[in-house]
């Protein structure tokens, strides 16, 4: 980019004398340039320097294209300026009679250099996400030794197992697990999630994110190329450099446009002399045809949209591994979701609490979680996690006792309490009141576990415990329905559980109790019905189905196998990102088509005008004006591609 910038400015300076002493320019603007011995050769001297200095990138590029038998943009530019140069040289030397084209040559090279500079700046800005991602990592980290002494060390020296001190406001230098402390971490630059995420002991943190007001001690689990940030950068770079079908279409269009331009130039060179026009007029027409048909904008149309769409996706937590997947997403009519960890949280929660008369839901959850505080059972974890999420302070319990197959007992605030399933009720020989009995039956019908809180001979509450649905799943399914897509649930879970989740989310079709090896068959069954299918999953069991589907969408927090199998990776495990992918795909495709028309469509009118079909009416395009129009199409394509940023909304 710097090379084209420098060449443009110097070429522009060299072009000024060429214009000032050009006989044609003096005639048009009715002035006389300063005269001195040799002044008549100023346009030729400066025009020659411009050709060899400013035009050298195009001549070299054209040579390589012809050597590879792939004539294109550089071929046309090099032909145009080379024809203009040699014809003008012959006129200046008196070998042939006519008007030289030195000023046209100089302005043409200057404008083409400007166009290339603008193109490179546009692509460089679009790919700036990679540079911004690289800047997220700090240069230094604070490492704690065994004695707890803090020492600042270069990030490059960190290794797995190191304990780091993350001070308030500091960037996290490596992936890790919180060992001590609580804080809120801003992960927006990695996941696109605007709300800071609370972190405490056991939570994972990502390199490049920014710590909030609290202080954290973090054990390093990944550094350098092992970090999530490095993985994101690799995926972004891979997607931006991968060739898409639309790019192949643009390349074919550029090739055919090049052939059309060369043929048109040849016909122009033959016809005008036969009609009695001078060679100066004919060469000018040939040069204009070659310039105006240059597929410069075509070379920018697709790569720029590709770079911008990939950057938009990365900034919103959508990592495109395969451009084909993003292109195919706009054609989808069916989205298949795995259940556990995708539409649900992947861990059990209290999904419904029914308390006895006179008691509140928070009160019974508080004491039930306290009873289970020292237990390891998933039911205990569900009660504790749910209490934490409700902001409930769980008191300490005493005299904890586990009763395998029945439940647990503990003393909470001098109250002897039991928590357990139906076996506990039988052991204690107690019956729940009618409201609690109906709540337990309803939970069982939905495939949920019913857990009771008992004090003495009284049942205080029943908790329906299950893998809770993500709050975002409701909006995700609604948005997909609004787009006219069918939503399918594919799970190995029981029919009762699957139907309960599907009913709550308003999912159209359910495949339950599907063995891992049968998931591919279900995807193929849908495809056999003529449906374009996306599979969304996060586990090893989902990898074959992700590969079989038309578009595989992997949950980023899932296993590495699933992530590698997906065409698109969702960094933040938010199912609302699935409709966002489809919206991005549609917007990207629209911009690609628009850019192809902006880049090539104007040639339908421009090439005949450049060839001089309206010359009898005095309408002619000069080579420099042709270069302006061609460069203008490049600018329009660049601006139109940038507008893609407004076309995609975040979840």
Tell me if residue 598 falls in helix, strand or coil. Answer: helix
d(C-alpha 398, C-alpha 412), whole Å: 7
* Cβ count near 602 (within 10 Å): 18
From the list 100, 162, 175, 338, the catalytic residue is 338
Q: How far apart are CA 465 and CA 379, in angstroms?
A: 7
Selection from 415, 419, 379, 389 nearest residue 401 by Cα: 419
Q: Tokens standing for 565? A: 């199998």
Rg of the chain (C-alpha set): 35
Edge-to-edge strands of the sheet including 509-511?
Answer: 318-320, 568-570, 551-555, 533-537, 334-338, 486-490, 509-511
Q: Which residues contact 82 (CB under 8 A, 6 or more apart)?
A: 59
* DSSP structure string for 121-158: HHHHHHTHHHHHHHHHS-SEEEEE-TT--EEEEEGGG-
SS3 state at 461: strand
Which alpha helices (DSSP H) does 446-539 contain, by range?
471-482, 495-505, 519-528
**In 158-215, where do the E strands start and end?**
163-166, 175-180, 183-186, 197-199, 204-205, 210-211
Burial of residue 426 (CB within 10 Å: 0-12, 13-18, 19+) is exposed
Cα–Cα distance between 120 and 333 in angstroms, integer?
37
DSSP 171: B
461 by Cβ neighbours in 10 Å (0-12 / 13-18 / 19+) ranks as buried
Sign of CA dihedral 571, 574, 579, 580: negative
338 is catalytic: yes
Relative to beta strand 533-537, strand 334-338 is parallel
CB atoms within 10 A of CB 337: 27
CA distance 405 to 446: 22
Q: For the stretch 462-481, what's the b/e string if a residue is b when 16 or more beta carbons lie within 10 angstroms of its beta carbon?
A: bbbbbbbbbebbbebbebbe
DSSP structural state of residue 516: G
Q: What residues act catalytically?
A: 338
């Amino acid at each position: 980019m710097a090379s084209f910038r420098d060449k443009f400015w110097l070429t522009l300076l060299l072009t000024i004398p060429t214009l000032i002493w050009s006989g044609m320019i003096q005639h048009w603007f009715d002035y006389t340039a300063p005269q001195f011995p040799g002044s008549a050769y100023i346009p030729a001297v400066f025009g020659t320097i411009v050709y060899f200095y400013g035009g050298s990138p195009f001549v070299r590029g054209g040579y390589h294209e012809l050597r590879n038998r792939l004539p294109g943009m550089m071929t046309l530019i090099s032909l145009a300026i080379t024809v203009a140069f040699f014809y003008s040289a012959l006129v200046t030397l008196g070998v042939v009679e006519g008007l030289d084209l030195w000023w046209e040559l100089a302005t043409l090279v200057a404008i083409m250099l400007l166009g290339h500079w603008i193109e490179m700046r546009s692509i460089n800005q679009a790919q700036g996400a990679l540079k911004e991602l690289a800047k997220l990592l700090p240069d230094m980290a604070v490492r704690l030794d065994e004695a707890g002494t803090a020492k600042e060390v270069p990030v490059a020296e960190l290794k797995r197992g190191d304990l780091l001190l993350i001070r308030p406001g500091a960037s996290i230098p490596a992936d890790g697990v919180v060992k001590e402390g609580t804080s809120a971490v801003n992960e927006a630059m990695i996941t696109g999630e605007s709300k800071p995420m609370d972190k405490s002991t056991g939570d994972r943190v990502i390199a490049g994110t920014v710590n909030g007001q609290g202080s954290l001690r973090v054990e390093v689990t990944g550094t350098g190329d092992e970090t999530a940030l490095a993985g994101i950068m690799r995926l972004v770079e891979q997607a931006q450099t991968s060739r898409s079908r639309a790019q192949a279409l643009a390349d074919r269009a550029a090739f055919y446009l090049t052939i059309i331009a060369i043929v048109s130039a040849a016909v122009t060179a033959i016809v005008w002399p036969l009609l009695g026009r001078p060679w100066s007029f004919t060469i000018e027409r040939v040069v204009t045809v070659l310039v105006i048909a240059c597929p410069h904008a075509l070379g920018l149309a697709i790569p720029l949209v590709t770079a911008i769409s990939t950057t938009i996706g990365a900034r919103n937590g959508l990592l495109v591994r395969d451009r084909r997947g993003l292109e195919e997403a706009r054609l989808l009519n069916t989205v298949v979701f795995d259940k556990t960890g995708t539409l649900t949280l992947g861990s059990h929660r209290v999904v419904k609490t029914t308390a006895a008369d006179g008691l509140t839901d928070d009160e019974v959850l508080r004491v039930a979680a306290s009873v289970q505080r020292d237990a390891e059972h998933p039911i205990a974890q569900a009660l504790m996690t749910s209490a934490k999420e409700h902001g409930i302070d769980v008191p300490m319990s005493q005299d904890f006792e586990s009763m395998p197959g029945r439940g647990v007992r503990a003393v909470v605030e001098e109250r002897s309490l039991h928590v357990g399933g139906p076996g506990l009720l039988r052991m204690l020989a107690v019956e729940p009141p009618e409201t609690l009995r109906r709540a337990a039956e309803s939970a069982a019908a939905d495939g949920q576990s019913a857990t009771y809180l008992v004090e003495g001979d009284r049942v205080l509450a029943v908790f329906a415990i299950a893998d809770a649905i993500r709050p975002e799943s409701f909006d995700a399914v609604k948005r997909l329905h609004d787009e006219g897509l069918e939503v399918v649930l594919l799970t190995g879970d029981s029919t009762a559980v699957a139907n309960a989740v599907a009913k709550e989310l308003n999912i159209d079709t359910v495949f339950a109790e599907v063995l891992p090896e049968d998931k591919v068959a279900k995807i193929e069954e849908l495809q056999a019905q003529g449906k374009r299918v996306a599979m969304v999953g996060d586990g090893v069991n989902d990898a074959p189905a992700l590969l079989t589907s038309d578009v595989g969408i992997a949950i980023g927090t899932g296993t590495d196998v699933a992530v590698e199998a997906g065409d698109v990776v969702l960094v933040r495990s938010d199912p609302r990102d699935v409709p966002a992918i489809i919206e991005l795909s549609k917007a990207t495709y629209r911009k690609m088509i628009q850019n192809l028309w902006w880049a090539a469509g104007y040639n339908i009118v421009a090439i005949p005008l450049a060839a001089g079909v309206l010359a009898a009416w005095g309408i002619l395009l000069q080579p420099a004006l042709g270069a302006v129009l061609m460069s203008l199409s490049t600018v329009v394509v660049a601006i139109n591609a940038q507008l893609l940023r407004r076309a995609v909304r975040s979840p």
